Amino acid sequence: MLTQQTKHFAGVKPTSKVGVIGIGGLGHMALKSLNKWGYEVVAFSSSPDKKDQILAMGATKVINSKDPNELVSIKSSLDFILNTTNVTLDWNFYLTTLAPKGRFHTVGVVLEPMVIPAFSLIIGEKSVAGSPPGSPALT
């Protein structure tokens, strides 16, 4: 979960545009917290039928992660992405949605190695990090 410590460490500012991948338990909590902190929050979901429900949770915008056109529409626009999923995704594609100096942070336990091309990080000075998820009390 995105704690105040992670928030500070990641350089996320009140003007930041933040993405959340995986709107389950952790993602739901992240949406609520980020919305209350005043961020513009883009939620990535593979379930387009849940768009209204996700917006009600606090997302500013919902992107269908299975629709390449929607993903391309936010290219280079996010300052920070929080991944709460535990499945292997096209990490490079999510990195392309990061703005220059954007940060990708995972709290989801992905069991397979995350394949991230170095060039995706070098161009735009992007970074990838992770931390254990926090409990609601810690958050």
CATH number at residue 104: 3.40.50.720
pTM: 0.87
Q: Are 63 and 89 in contact (CB under 8 A)?
A: no
Q: Is 97 within a domain?
A: yes
Q: Is the separation of the CB atoms in 19 and 78 below 8 Å? A: yes
Is residue 84 assigned to a domain? yes
Residue 69 CA, distance from chain mean position = 18
Cβ(18)–Cβ(78) under 8 Å?
A: yes
- Quote the Cα angle for 19-21-25, to 5°: 115
Q: Which domain holds residue 92?
A: 14-130
Task: Tell me if 56 is assigned to some domain.
Answer: yes
In a domain, 51, yes or no: yes
In this predicted structure, which of 11-15, 75-79, 126-130 has the lowest mean pLDDT?
A: 11-15
Q: For residues 25 and 10, give the distance between their C-alpha atoms in angstroms, rounded to a whole number.
A: 22
54 within domain boundaries = yes
What is the edge-to-edge ordering of all strands in the sheet holding 61-64? 61-64, 40-45, 17-21, 78-83, 98-106, 127-130
Cα distances (angstroms) measured from residue 75 to each of 66, 72, 111 = 15, 5, 27
Mind listing the pLDDT tens digit for each residue in 18-73?
999 999 888 999 999 888 888 999 999 999 899 999 999 999 999 999 998 998 99
Whole-number Å distance between alpha carbons of 131 and 1: 8
**Which two tokens mark 124?**
């735009």
139 is a domain residue: no
- Between CA 53 and CA 75 the distance in angstroms is 24
Say what percent of the chain tops pLDDT 70: 88
What is the number of structural domains in the chain? Answer: 1
Q: Is 100 a domain residue?
A: yes
Q: Is residue 5 part of a domain?
A: no
